[in-house]
Structure 1
């Protein structure tokens, strides 16, 4: 904007200098009127440009706000996906007995009693079957959990890694 003022001042000075050197009686008044008209036009253009600049600044600020909100949303989404993948991977690696304990269907004491029973009797049944045998978990609940555990193990294709969100969402503007 400063260069516009400098150019405007140079033009005015050049016209005034030209009018003085020319020395005509009516010419200075005509030149002065033309200069005044040019100055008014330039001031009007400058006002329009200033208004447009303000509008552009407000649009940029609004876009930065939307970009920041979008970046936060995408970061939250990526975090949720990573958490879900981690939880699924953990669930796939856990034994059925661990799953029953995680879900609160049996507690550590009951599992320890079932293990002790297996060791003392030489019972070849899996620990979860001994839990049902001892009455710590109903057989139908055990069947449902075993089926769900097998379904998860079969469909356990877990993505290797969820891409991390781009850092500094505002740096692009």
Structure 2
């Protein structure tokens, strides 16, 4: 504003819009959306009692394979859970090939014990309850949930992969003993 120039009064629709988008994006973007200065937005939000705090999510990259927001993508261009799913699938196909080479008695033993030996995975993290939270706290809670879900998937898939590989090793040992 130039010296001596009067400020443009805030309209009711601008105030509603400020209340809606405050905390969902950085202050300079809020100011740009409202076509107001950074300082005018800061002062008005302060008078309205609206927080302009903004959470920048850590889970910002989207995996092209699964479409989930992830903390990081691997060198292959996919997330860690997608890499682990591919490794589990490969281990299962190798196990199926090894199963064909086993004798009928051993094959029957592996088929019958497979369902009994499955261990239960850890419980999946519960999604956050964000009603009544400020936009900042809600965004932070959703981001923490995405991170916890990614860690849970990696833990569960790693456990499954190790079990498949151990089973394959036991099968190969039986095949070599035949």
Q: TM-score, normalised by structure 2?
A: 0.28
TM-score by length of 1: 0.29
Higher helix share: 1
